[in-house]
Structure 1
Amino acid sequence: MVNNNYSDTSVSQPMKHGSSESAAEGRGKNTRAKVLDMLRSAAGGISGEAMAAQIGVSRVAVWKAVKGLCEAGYEIAGNPEGYALVRDKTDSIDEWEFGADAPRFRHLESTDSTMNRAFDEALRGAAHGLVVTADRQLTGRGMSGKAWNSAAGGLFFTIVTRPGLAVWDSHRMVMAAQCAAAEAVRSATGVECSLDWPNDLLVGSGKIGGILGEGLFSGTTLSFMNLGVGINTGERPDMPGTGAVNGGRKEILDFFLKNFDRIDPESPGLASRWNSKCPRIGQSIIGKTVGGARVEGAFLGIDEAGRARIREDKDTGGYGERLFSPGSLSIETKGWRR
């Protein structure tokens, strides 16, 4: 799913690294998160007055939170105790499902692509770590302008980052996101998830997801780098070579964010971490460069910049080990061992 669409766009003034969301909106999400948590904990119901006192807001604010939750699909009814949660939502990734982190999220029921919405947010000055999620993506984007098949029930989100990296190190953010996603899938499902170059997530031989990197830079420094993540947690796309995992979207997203927030993209051990999760190392490949030149050899893993290390076959006129940046080589055939 990954593409590195780096736009060489000059920025005349420094971007504000603050949230584009108003303080009132952030407080509203926090209140909904706390109200929802209280409703889930109070089997027999709880009064609006009690919730208002515990949260430290007015009863009107609680009423607005309840109304917003009902509009979002949670069924809440009045009873002698006050409010009661009659029907919960299954595997919801609405903002208020993330507790105190709710203001960090923007959730959409349906959108063209979370990448497009996150790009808009980043241009408006969204802070590092903002997450745009969607239940449904109509025109998800993949590598080199290809479409990403957003199968029903999948996990689709984009995280805005401001890493302060040089442009030539930008793929390190994709590497970090791949590692975080693979570890999240394993933690949430117990299924081993591996990596493939330059951007894929695999379970067995099936592609279950990938990372799309898209950034804007001024001179040689990234202004922001957005990372789009798509994981097939529902239906398997009707395409050869794909797969899906049976895991909750919220749980996987929770694990991803915890893992990703702990990864230092400038750490010299990032390539080793990535390589340890790639089963393709040592396997033969056949590919083409963007210029159409044929490449045959063995995939030796990646270097610290995320470039593929290919040991070309000497008997085919190769040059020994060569490095290929993401997007410069398309691997067409891979997977059999020497």
Structure 2
Amino acid sequence: MNATRRAILAALAAGPVTGPALADRLDVSRAAVWKQVESLREAGFRIESGDDGYRVESVPAYGAAAIEFDLDAPYRIEYHEEIGSTNDRARELAEAGEVGMAVVADEQTGGRGRLDREWTAPSGGVWASLLLRPNRPPSAVPIYTLAAAVAVTRAAREAGADARIKWPNDVLVFDSRESAPETEISRDKLAGILTEMEGEADRVSWLVVGIGVNANIDAEALPSGATSLRAEVGDVDRRVFLQRVLEEFASLTSEAGDLRNVLEAWRDHAATLGQRVRVQTPTETAEGEAIDVRFPGSLVIRTEGGERVVTAGDCEHLRPSGSE
């Protein structure tokens, strides 16, 4: 979407505005404004023209212009009906010098999770990768993964799903119909986060945060152990859902903010804290009760031998001792 069209959408999001006012504000001709408005109509926007000017009556369901419309987050959207991997595309944009982008797709044909595990990404999901250039050291990068998990969880809970986070970044859904104790092991996976970066010892060159949410997808189309928003609460407006994710993430990771605040937000939605867990790292296994999370995202486990701090690994929630 070109800059003029994006600026027109931003202006229309605030309410009706006349063609001459838009032309003056954007320093373009009235004919150029009309041309861009017509392009937006062709893209699915219903834009009416009255005495008070142009006004948006309805927005298309999904797509770059639709997601950017009234988005309160500093990201430009690149949308694809189908793509191999949004993370791969975001990395290409990073190498080209772009910043502040969100690559979004209706379907991914080559999606992947951690450790290059296959990630099913059919049409109807929310598949997005954010390209950032944060003024932070590489050691702080894990906190962005936690922030993305918090953003997805908040959006899912707003949609009605009982979403919580398994350390560090898997978003799970619990069955709200069950009166399970707090120590109940987790249910099905709704979303995952995959973060990639390039940098030097003291700075991040670029950061890509990949977000995959099983949104409007039949449960039968997903692998065992996965669920979707459709299966849990019914279909959601993907445009609004993704906007909420982007807005929450931007707020949590603002350059002017304190990234340590992400930890408290993560704790508020954690399924892992208080659970008995087993974390497998490349070199060892830690087992015990998960009691806290520390900056930039390490898990603190109370084991028989004392407290252990784990920075990365596969986390498994274990059934409480004595349970079936």
Q: Structure 1 residue 304 and structure 2 residue 271: aligned?
A: no
2:270 maps to 1:278: yes
Q: Does 1:152 align with 2:123?
A: yes
| Length, aligned pairs only | 287
Read off the aligned partner of 1:279 and give its amino acid letter. A
Q: How does 1:129-278 map to 2 (within 5 A)?
A: 129-187=100-158, 189-204=159-174, 205-235=187-217, 236=219, 237-245=221-229, 246-264=235-253, 266-278=258-270
Tell me how far 1:256 sits from its aligned partner: 1.6
Shift of 1:112: 1.0
Question: Closer, same or farther in 2 for the Cα pair 1:100/1:272, shift >3 Å?
Answer: closer
Change (3 A) 1:65 1:270: same
Measure, in 2, the Cα distance between the counterparts of 1:51 and 1:106: 28
Equivalent-residue separation in structure 2 for 1:289 and 1:31 (angstroms): 50
Q: Does 1:107 align with 2:76?
A: no
Whole-angstrom CA distance in 2 between matches of 1:139 and 1:118? 14
Aligned with residue 55 of structure 1, among 22, 33, 41? 22
What CA distance in whole angstroms lies between the structure 1 residues aligned with 2:70 and 2:272? 40
**Distance in 2 between the 1:164 and 1:36 partners?**
30
**Post-superposition shift, 1:33?**
7.0
- Encode CA deviations 1:182-239: one digit per residue, 9 max, x unaligned: 112222x132321111221111111110111111102231112111111111113421
The whole-number CA distance in structure 2 between the counterparts of 1:172 and 1:305 is: 5
The percent of aligned pairs where both chains have the same amino acid is 22
Relative to structure 1, the CA distance from residue 61 to residue 96 in structure 2 (aligned partners, 3 Å threshold; closer, same or farther) is farther
Look up the SS of the partner of 2:61 in the other structure: coil
- Give the Cα separation in 1 of the matches to 2:239 and 2:75: 16
Cα pair 1:168 1:305 within 8 Å, conserved: yes
Match of 1:323 among 301, 309, 312: 309
C-alpha change, 1:89 and 1:259, in structure 2 (3 Å) is closer
Partners in 1 of 2:306 and 2:273 — Cα distance?
Answer: 16
1:294-333 Cα shifts (integer Å, max 9, x gaps): 4332222321121122222x3xxxx32211212xx223x4
Distance 1:142 1:54, change over 3 A: same
SS of 1:175's partner is helix
Find 2:4's aligned residue among 27, 30, 42: 27
Residues 35/320 of structure 1: CA separation in 2 closer, same or farther (3 Å cut): closer
Q: 1:216 to 1:66 in 2, by over 3 A?
A: same
Distance 1:91 1:100, change over 3 A: closer
Distance 2:318 2:60 in 1: 38
Unmatched 5+ residue regions in structure 1? 1-20, 42-49, 77-82
With over 3 angstroms needed to count, the CA separation of the structure-2 counterparts of 1:217 and 1:249, relative to structure 1, is: same
- Report the Cα offset of residue 67 of structure 1: 4.4
Matched AA of 1:26: A
Structure 2 gap ranges (5+): 24-28, 48-53, 175-186, 230-234
Deviation at 1:131, TM superposition (A): 1.4
1:295 corresponds to 2:286: yes
Tell me the distance in 2 between the aligned counterparts of 1:35 and 1:305.
40
Counterpart Cα distance in 2 of 1:285 and 1:323: 13
The TM-score normalised by the length of structure 1 is 0.73
